[in-house]
Amino acid sequence: MFGRRKKRDAAEGAAGEAEQVVDGVDSEAGGEGERLRLEPAPRPDGPWDSSEVRDPGEGRVDLGGLFVPGVDGMELRVEVAGDAIVAATVVLRDSAIQLQAFAAPKREGIWGEVREEIGSGITQQGGIVDEVEGPLGWELRAQVPVQLPDGTGGFQVVRFVGVDGPRWFLRGVISGQGAVQPQAAGLLEQIFRDTVVVRGEGPMAPRDPIVLKLPNDAQMVPEGIQQEEGSRFAGGMGQLQRGPEITEVR
- Sorted by where each starts, the structural domains of the chain and their CATH numbers stand as 39-249 (3.40.1000)
If one compares 143 and 236, the residue with the highest pLDDT of the two is: 143
The confidence score (pLDDT) of residue 8 equals: 40
159: buried, middle or exposed (CB in 10 Å: 19+, 13-18, 0-12)? buried
How far from chain centre, in Å, is Cα 142? 14
Rounded percentage of the chain residues whose pLDDT exceeds 90: 54
Average pLDDT over every residue of 228-238: 34
Residue 3, pLDDT > 70, answer no
The residue ranges of DSSP E strands in the chain, in sequence order, are 21-22, 25-26, 48-49, 60-62, 66-69, 75-81, 84-92, 95-103, 128-134, 137-147, 153-165, 168-176, 196-197, 219-220, 246-249
- Res 9: pLDDT: 42
DSSP assigned state of 120 = H
C-alpha of 155 from chain center: 20
Which range, of 78-92, 122-136, 156-170, averages the lowest pLDDT? Answer: 78-92
φ, ψ of residue 170 to 5 degrees: the values are -110, 125
Q: Model confidence over 158-168: pLDDT tens digits?
A: 999 999 999 99
| 204 vs 241, residue with greater confidence | 204
Measure the CA–CA gap between 175 and 15, rounded to whole angstroms: 26
Residue 249 β-bridge partners = 75
